Structure 1
Amino acid sequence: MAKTLIELRDICKKYDDNVVLDHFNLTVEENEFITLLGPSGCGKTTLLRIVGGFEKPDSGQVFFEGKDITALPPNKRQINTVFQKYALFPHMNVGQNIAFGLKISGKSDSYIREKVKYGLKLVNLEGFENRKIDQMSGGQQQRVAIARAVVNEPKLLLLDEPLGALDLKLREDMQYELIRLKEELGITFLYVTHDQEEALTMSNRIIVLNNGDIQQIGTPEEIYNEPQNAFVADFIGDSNIIDACMVRDKLVRICGTEFPCVDTGFGENQPVDVVIRPEDILIGEPGKGKLDGVVTHNVFIGVHYEMEIEAGGFTWLAQNTTSYEVGTHVSIDVIPFNIQIMHKPVKPEQEALDLEAE
C-alpha cells in the first residue's frame, strides 16, 4: 500500500489583494512523479515554494510523513529543489558544486568524495568534477544541479521548470533522463511546468491548475482522453470544443446533426460542451460521414497534416496522415467513443441561485 509523503491541508496564500492559492488540498504518495501543470500565474510555483519552505502559507498546514513541517526552514526538510535557473556557484567547479550541501551538513571528506563520484555517474558526467561551471553547456549544468540535489538523499525532489532554458532536443533528452533517475533512485518528484508535453511524458499523475484551483487530477491518459472541463481540454493538446445538445443518453446533437456517443447521465435536451481531438476526426468522401464540408487550411507539421475544415457552421481542426488540398470537399465523422461530453460551466449568478434554492 502506498504511503503518503506530503499532504497539503487548506493552504491559502495571497500577495496584496491577489489570491494565489485558496484553500488548496493535495496528497502526494511515495515514489510518485507528480506534475503541477498550468499557465503562468496559476499558483504552481508558489505551491512548490511552500512545500520547499521558501514561502509560508497565510493559513493551512504542510505535512511530511504525517508531521507538521509548516514552520520548518528549507534546510530542516528532507526536500531538495532544482530551479529553472540552476543556482550553481560560478566560482566553484563541478565537484565542489555537487559537494556543497554535504559540506554544509558536516559530512566527512571520504563520504563527500564517494557521493560526488556517485552523483557524477548518476547524471552521466563522470570525469567532469574539475570542470568550471561556465565551461558546461546548459544541459550539463542542469545535470550538475540535479546531482547536487540527489546526493543529499532527499525523500522529495522539487523541480521548478528545470528544462525551460534548454533547447527542444535537450529538453526531450532530459525528460527521459529524469524518468530514469526517478525510477533508479526511488525519490518522489514534484515537478512544475506549463509545458503539456513534459507533463504527459513524465508524470504518474498530473494536477491541472488555473487561478490557484485544481481543475483536474489524473493520469496523463485520463487528463488527455477524459478532460473534465473546457479549460483542461483546451490546455492539454489541441481540441475542438463545440456547443452541443445532449438529446438523451448516448446521443448528442452537434452542429445540427445527431452523433452517437457513449456518455450517459446528462439528461435530455440539455446544453453541453463537446470535446473532439483533431486526430479523432475521420475524413472521407462527401456524403460518407455525418457532416460535409470543405478544407480551408492545410499545413504539414512533420508526422501528419493539420487541416481546418468548415462543416456545419464550425471550423474543425483535423489531423491526418493523408493530405487533402485546400478547396477539397470532404465529409467528417467521429466514432462514439471519441466524443467527450462535458457539463457547461456554471455561471456565478446561476450558482448563487442554486444555493438559494437549496
Structure 2
Amino acid sequence: MEQAILNLEHLSKSFDGKKILDDLSIDIGKNEFVTLLGPSGCGKTTTLRMIGGFIMPDEGRVIFEGKDITALPPDKRHINTVFQKYSLFSHMSVADNIAFGLKLKKKSSAYIHDKIKYALKLVDLEGYEDRHPMSLSGGQQQRIAIARAIVNEPKVLLLDEPLGALDLKLRQDMQKELIKIKNELGITFVFVTHDQEEALTMSDRIIVMNQGLIQQIGTPVDIYNEPENAFVADFIGESNIIDGVMPKDFLVEILGIPFPCVDSGFGRNELVDVVIRPEDMEFQKPGSGMLDGRVTSILFKGVHYEMKVQAGGFEWLAHSTEAYHPGTEVGIYVKPENIQIMHKPTSAAQEVINTNE
C-alpha cells in the first residue's frame, strides 16, 4: 500500500442505543480503490459518512494527510461524495449541474468552462452540456454526478452504492468507467456496496464488515481464495461450509472421512470450520472419490451448471461445465489446496461472523 491518505482510528458510533461501529480502524492509501463490503446495517455507509463529515463519531478520529479532520464540516474537506441518489438539479442544464460547486467557490468563467469540458470528456459525455438530467439515462445521470464531484479536484472520492439503481449492463459499464477515472486522475476511491461481484471486480483492497466489525481486509484474490472466517466465505461467493476436525497437520476429517489439506498449526483434534467452493468440487465415478453422493437438482447458469448433491448426510453445492442430472451417482473429489480450514469463533465478538443479516 502506498502512503496512507486516510487513517480511521478507533471509530465507534451508536444510534438509539445500538452500536453501529465498534472500534473500527482502517488505513487507506493514496490512489487506492478501497471497497467497504457487507450486508445492510453492517456499518459501511456510517463509516463513509464519517469520512465525508456528515456524521460525527462517538469515539475515534478521522485523519486526512496527517491532520485530524474529525470535527471539520464536509465543505472544508478535500473529499467529495457521490450518493446512490445522484441529487442532480432537474431545472439546471448538465453544464450548470457540474459547475455548481465551482460557482460557489467563485471560480472564473473561463476556469469553469475548461473544467466542464474536461469532466464531460472524462465521463464520455461530450456535447451534453445543454441537456437536462431528466432527459438522460440512469447511467448518464450517474456520470454527471461523478463529473460534478471530480471538477472540485477532491483527493478522495466517496461513492455510496452509486450503481445500485442501474441495470446489469449499465452497472458493468460503469464499473469499467470508474476504474478508468480513478487511474486517470489518481484519486483515492472509497466505495460502498453490498454487491460482492462489484467489490471483486473493482477493488485494490476489500474491507468486509458485519455488525460494525471488520471481518477481513485484503485483495480480492485473498478475500475470495483465503477467507479468514465463515462469514467472509459465505458472503464472498458461494461456499460449502461444514464442521470438521483436525486430527493432525495437513489432514481434516469431514463427516468422519479424512481429507488431505494444506493447513497446519491447529490443535490436535481441534474443531474447525471447513470451506469448499462449489467450483472446486470435482465429480468422478462412484467409489473413486473421497465420498459418494447422488445429484438431487440441477440449474443451468449460463457458464456452468449448478448442482446439489446429497453425500454423507450433507447437501453439497457444486459447479461444473458438465451436466449431471438428478439421480446420478457420483464420487466427490477435492484437491487438498482447495480445502480452506478456519478456526471456530472463540469470543462473543467473533460470534458475529456467523450472523448474516
Corresponding residue for residue 78 of structure 1: 78
CA distance in 1, matches of 2:79, 2:325: 55
Matches within 5 A, 1:147-296: 147-296=147-296
- Inter-CA distance 323–103: structure 2 relative to 1 (3 Å threshold): same
Mapping 1:100-119, distance limit 5 Å: 100-119=100-119
- Measured against aligned partners, the alpha-carbon deviations of 1:134-159 in whole angstroms (never above 9, x if no partner) come to 10000000000000001111000000
TM-score scaled to structure 1, two decimals? 0.96
Q: Name the SS of the counterpart of 1:71 in structure 2.
A: coil
Q: Deviations over 1:81-102 (max 9, x none)?
A: 0000001111111010001111
Aligned-pair CA distance for 1:348: 3.5
The one-letter amino acid of 1:64's match is: F
Amino acid at match of 1:162: P
> What does residue 34 of structure 1 align with?
34
C-alpha separation in 2, matches of 1:96 and 1:159: 22
Q: Which residue of 2 is the match for residue 305 of structure 1? A: 305
- What is the alpha-carbon distance in structure 2 between the residues aligned to residue 350 and residue 210 of structure 1? 10
| Structure 1 residue matching 2:165: 3-state secondary structure | coil
Q: Where does the alignment leave 5 or more consecutive residues of structure 1 unmatched?
A: 352-358
CA offsets, 1:20-76, max 9 Å, x none?
111111110100000000000001001100000011111211110000101111011
Give the secondary-structure state (helix, strand or coil) at the position aligned to 1:107. coil
Give the TM-score taking structure 2 as reference length: 0.97
Give the structure 1 partner of residue 68 of structure 2: 68
1:93-126 CA distances to partner (integer Å, 9 max, x unpaired)?
Answer: 1010001111111110000000000000000000
Structure-2 change in CA distance of 1:273 and 1:348 (3 Å):
same
Q: Deviations over 1:199-253 (max 9, x none)?
A: 0000000000001100000000010001001000000000000111111000001
Partner of 1:354: none
In 2, Cα distance between the equivalents of 1:239 and 1:305?
A: 15
Cα distance, 1:322 vs. partner? 0.3
Q: 2: distance between equivalents of 1:59 and 1:130?
A: 46
Q: Secondary structure at the match of 1:163?
A: coil
How much has 1:350 moved relative to structure 2?
11
Relative distance call for 1:349 and 1:92 in structure 2 (3 A) is closer
Aligned-residue CA RMSD (Å): 1.3
Residue of structure 2 equivalent to 1:355: none
Residue matched to 1:88:
88
Distance, in Å, in 2 between the alignment partners of 1:215 and 1:165 is 27
Q: Which runs of structure 1 show a deviation greater than 2 angstroms over 4 or more consecutive aligned residues?
A: 347-351
| Inter-partner Cα distance in structure 1 for 2:272 and 2:301 | 32
Look up the equivalent residue of 1:219 and give its one-letter code.
Answer: T
Q: Deviations over 1:170-220 (max 9, x none)?
A: 101111111111111100000000000000000000000001100000000
1:169–1:250: structure 2 CA closer, same or farther, 3 Å change rule?
same
The residue correspondences of 1:35-54 to structure 2 (distance < 5 A) are: 35-54=35-54
Aligned to 1:87, the other structure's residue is in SS state coil
Structure 2 counterpart of 1:143, one-letter code: R
State the match for 2:325 in structure 1. 325
**CA distance 1:350–1:329, shift in 2 (3 Å):** closer
Q: Secondary structure at the match of 2:265?
A: coil
Measure how far apart 1:347 and its partner are. Answer: 4.8
Counterpart residue type for residue 156 of structure 1: V
